[in-house]
Amino acid sequence: MIIKHKKLLSWVKEMAALCKPDKIVWIDGTEEEKRRLEQEAFRTGELIELNQEKLPGCVYHRTSPTDVARTEHLTFICTKKKSDAGPTNNWMSPKEAFEKGRQLFKNSMVGRTMYVIPFSMGPVGSAFSKIGIELTDSIYVVLNMRIMTRIGSAVLERLGKDGEFTKGLHSKADLDPNRRLILHFPEENTIWSVGSGYGGNVLLGKKCLSLRLGSFLGNKEGWLAEHMLIMGIEDPSGYIGYIAAAFPSACGKTNLAMLIPPEGLKKKGYRIWTVGDDIAWMRIDTDGQLWAVNPEAGFFGVAPGTNSKTNPNMMAAIRSNTIYTNVLLKMDKTVWWEGGDPPVPDEGIDWQGRPWRPGTDVLSSHPNSRFTVPARQCPSITNRMEHHHGVPISAIIFGGRRARLAPLVYEAFTWRHGVYMGATMASERTAAQYGKQGEVRRDPMAMLPFCGYNMADYFKHWLQMGKRMARPPKVFHVNWFRTDENGDYLWPGFGENLRVLEWVIDRCRAGVGAAESPIGYVPRVEDLDLNGLNLPNGTMDKLLEINKIEWKEELKDHREFFKMFGKRLPKEIWDEYRALEKRLA
């Protein structure tokens, strides 16, 4: 491979002088290269080959037990001014961060190979897309990036001899959590990640580039980088309405992105097309509409709880060419996890490499164990995955997990009201999450851990995007998790959520009614197709109820949350706050 990009060459040389790898390998993205890397990783034990008859092309990996999830407290936004990172981010000055990083990267690749991965987020060559180069000493990272992004020679060719690229440097170093840092330098278009080998910390195209640097670039360049799934809902006439939806963790985002329509709606002619399960990049096109691409090429899904009932499309996708991380390794070299398809295996080797049997209180798989799978293997994947224009977005949906308060679905009066809805998004912690169960965590647009700049400026950017669009998408809020007095869920969820999405898409085409309420437009029971659902009498009323007393309490919390942004918070957000207060009075 002949590299003509002088800046790229000199940066690789400089980083190699710091990390001192034994050799440097440029990744070309070929099948032959993949096989070679896998064989090497099988030899060193970094990967285990799975049963090739039952799981063709699949491999298995265990991470260090202290390296099993994104580490938000070690993740920093390193802008020159602290105020540009804002009150919701950890901040370090670029000078201090580069110094600290340099110490940790120094000689970190001695005895190892440095792989140079050219990758594109978004279809190679699309106006949406951004090119990055990740330098890493981990074959696991190379093979994951191969699935999650478009990598190799085509990307280098597109970069040419002077194209712009994000500089990503990653080293596992000694995997010591005390010597781990995930540093973002938005003003230098640079990411440094050291001391971790897992997921969101090290697949630099994902959270680091596509969301943290992406949101910073979006603000500068006039587009949106969002923590959103994208899906198409095809109605009986063949029309496909696309939605982008933001949910905090543990709200079933991946399952929603690939849901199977319930029998009644399937018969009516509904189909779902998956575009993405985690990230949306959205631009205003010449038609004045918002268009979106999924910058990723794969899914990095959480394994526990995924089964043929909760997500049949995903179960079909992960039968081949999948990397499994931190799940149970069965004796026949297949895999299993808690909440996976039955039967529960009699024995296996757990995610920490220890013999495991059911009936003990030891989990076979880590709660954040994952599979990495090419998006094209999902039976519901859209044929627009490689379209350079992406898909037109009719509706934006915000969601949260609220046992009370938020009705099943409601619609914002205006784009500005919709931005307020997103800015006040919140979710209650589940037992599986760190922190006090039931506690409400504000997570604006599900971007709290991922917004690469001051969130007050981010809200302003959203408001401005609305002004630039001729036909902005309608904005909605959903809550699948409302409970009754006994704590039981009122709404069945999963495929049945399509009944709500049908109303959303019909609202965008002005085809269905709603009632006006203080918090927005809410469907009347007769506005939803509930045929075949057979919910007990009164359940729908409970799901759609708005309790003004609870909402007035909620408003106090909005106020407290917004206070942290001080004068930087756009006036329009306070205007919306006061308007809601007045409507509730």
Site residues, ligand O2Y (CB under 6 A):
69-70, 198-201, 249, 278, 300, 368
Residue 300 interacting partner from Mn ion, ligand O2Y, none (CB closer than 5 to 8 Å by kind)? ligand O2Y
Of 201 and 497, which has the nearer Cβ to ligand O2Y? 201
d(CA 43, CA 300): 25
| Token duo for residue 338 | 């808690």
Q: In the complex with ligand O2Y, which residue's Cβ is closer, 368 or 517? A: 368
Instruction: Say which of 19, 78, 208, 251 is annotated catalytic.
Output: 251
For residue 396, give the 3-state DSSP assignment.
strand
**Shortest distance (Å) from residue 368 CB to ligand O2Y:** 5
Q: How far is the CB of 537 from ligand O2Y (least distance, A)?
A: 38
Q: Which CB, 199 or 348, lies closer to Mn ion?
A: 199
Q: Name which of 249 and 364 has its Cβ closer to ligand O2Y.
A: 249
Minimum distance, C-beta of residue 228 to ligand O2Y, in the bound complex (Å): 11
- Helix ranges (H only) for 399-537 are 415-423, 455-468, 497-508
Q: Which partner from the list ligand O2Y, Mn ion, none does 185 bind, CB cut-off 5 to 8 Å by kind?
A: none
Q: CB-wise, 120 or 372, nearer to ligand O2Y?
A: 372
Three-state secondary structure string covering 559-582? HHHHHCCHHHCCHHHHHHHHHHHH
Residue 451 near residue 212, CB atoms below 8 Å:
yes
The distance of closest approach from Cβ of residue 318 to ligand O2Y in the complex, given in angstroms and rounded to an integer, is: 14
Q: Hunting for tokens 């499994």 — which residue is that?
A: 324
> Residue 253 CB, nearest distance to ligand O2Y (Å)?
8
* Angular region, 238: left φ>0, alpha ψ -120 to 50, beta rest: left
Nearer of residues 200 and 473 to ligand O2Y, judged by Cβ: 200
Handedness of CA 431, 433, 434, 438 (dihedral sign): negative
Nearer to Mn ion, 278 or 554 (CB): 278
- C-alpha distance from residue 457 to each of 152, 218, 308, 383, 578 (Å): 35, 12, 42, 35, 20
Residue carrying structure tokens 């998408």: 473
3-state SS of 141-196 is HHHHHHHHCEECHHHHHHHCCCCCCEEEEEECCCCCHHHCEEEEEHHHCEEEEECC
What distance lies between CA 126 and its chain's CA centroid? Answer: 21
d(CA 25, CA 30): 13
> Is 251 among the residues known to form the active site?
yes
Spatial contact of 299 and 375, defined as CB atoms under 8 Å apart: yes
| Cα-to-chain-centroid distance, residue 223 | 18
Return the one option of ligand O2Y, Mn ion, none that residue 371 interacts with (CB less than 5 to 8 A, by type). none
Q: How far is the CB of 205 from ligand O2Y (least distance, A)?
A: 12
User: From the CB of 207, what's the least distance to Mn ion, in Å?
Assistant: 7
Q: Which residues bind Mn ion (CB under 5 A)?
A: 278
Residue 198's binding partner among ligand O2Y, Mn ion, none (Cβ under 5 to 8 angstroms by kind) is: ligand O2Y
Question: What residues are annotated to the active site?
Answer: 251
